[in-house]
Amino acid sequence: MNLTEGQVLARVASESRELIHLLTPEGPVVATLSGALRNDPSAEFPVAGDWVRLRVEGLRVEGVLPRRTCLRRRAVGGPSRAQVLAANIDTGLVVIGLDRALRPRVLERFILALREGGVEPVVVLNKADLGTDLTRVASLTGSLGTPVVATSALTGQGLEALIPWLGAGQTVAAVGPSGVGKSTLLNRLRGEEVAETGAVRSTDHRGRHTTTRRELIELPTGAFLLDTPGLREFGLWSGETLDSTFEEIGDLSGRCRFRDCTHTVEPGCAVREAMAEGDLDEGRYDGYQKLASELRYNALRDELGARGAERKRWKAIHKITRTMGR
Biggest CA pair distance of the chain? 81
Residue 133 counted as domain residue: yes
Q: What are phi and psi of 85, to 5 degrees?
A: -95, -35
Specify whether 121 is located in the same domain as 222: yes
> End of a domain among 167, 196, 227?
227
Pairing of strands 215-218, 171-175: unpaired
> End of a domain among 173, 192, 227?
227
* CATH of residue 138: 3.40.50.300
Indicate yes or no: pTM above 0.85.
no
Closest CA to 109 of 277, 256, 261, 237: 237
The torsion region of residue 102 among left (phi > 0), alpha (psi -120 to 50) and beta comes to beta
Buried b (16+ CB within 10 A) or exposed e, 29-41: bebebbeebeeee
Look at residue 194 in the predicted model and tell me its pLDDT: 66
Specify whether 59 is located in the same domain as 87: no
Residue 278 counted as domain residue: yes
Specify whether 17 is located in the same domain as 138: no
Residue 142 counted as domain residue: yes
Specify whether 162 is located in the same domain as 202: yes
**Are the C-beta atoms of residues 124 and 185 closer than 8 Å to each other?**
yes
Specify whether 159 is located in the same domain as 188: yes
Specify whether 39 is located in the same domain as 187: no
Assign 115 to helix, strand or coil: helix
> What are the distances in angstroms from CA 260 to CA 112, 250, 263?
21, 12, 9
Q: How many helices (H) and strands (E) does the chain have?
A: 8, 13
* CATH of residue 40: 2.40.50.140
pLDDT band for position 208 (cuts 50, 70, 90) = very low
* CATH of residue 293: 1.10.40.50
Residue 324 counted as domain residue: no
Buried b (16+ CB within 10 A) or exposed e, 109-130: bbbbbbbbbebebbbbbbbbbe
Closest CA to 104 of 237, 287, 244, 290: 287
Pairing of strands 70-74, 82-87: antiparallel
Integer Cα distance of 173 and 86 in angstroms: 8
Look at residue 83 in the predicted model and tell me its pLDDT: 81
Specify whether 40 is located in the same domain as 108: no
pLDDT band for position 198 (cuts 50, 70, 90) = very low
Buried b (16+ CB within 10 A) or exposed e, 182-192: bbbbbbbbbee
Residue 41 counted as domain residue: yes
Residue 232 counted as domain residue: no
Q: What are phi and psi of 301, to 5 degrees?
A: -65, -40
Residue 107 counted as domain residue: yes
Residue 318 counted as domain residue: no
Integer Cα distance of 198 and 208 in angstroms: 7
Number of domains, the chain: 3
> What are the distances in angstroms from CA 258 to CA 178, 252, 255, 270?
42, 12, 9, 10
pLDDT band for position 162 (cuts 50, 70, 90) = very high
Which amino acid type is present at position 106? V
C-alpha 184: how far from chain center: 20
Choice between 267 and 200, residue whose per-residue pLDDT is larger: 267
Specify whether 257 is located in the same domain as 292: yes
Return mean pLDDT, the chain.
83
Closest CA to 239 of 297, 161, 158, 322: 297
Specify whether 96 is located in the same domain as 128: yes
Domain that holds residue 27: 7-64
Specify whether 93 is located in the same domain as 184: yes
Specify whether 59 is located in the same domain as 26: yes
> End of a domain among 35, 64, 93?
64
pLDDT band for position 209 (cuts 50, 70, 90) = very low
Specify whether 85 is located in the same domain as 133: yes
Pairing of strands 224-227, 27-33: unpaired
Residue pLDDT, tens place only, 81-133: 778 889 999 999 999 888 888 888 888 888 888 998 899 999 999 998 887 77
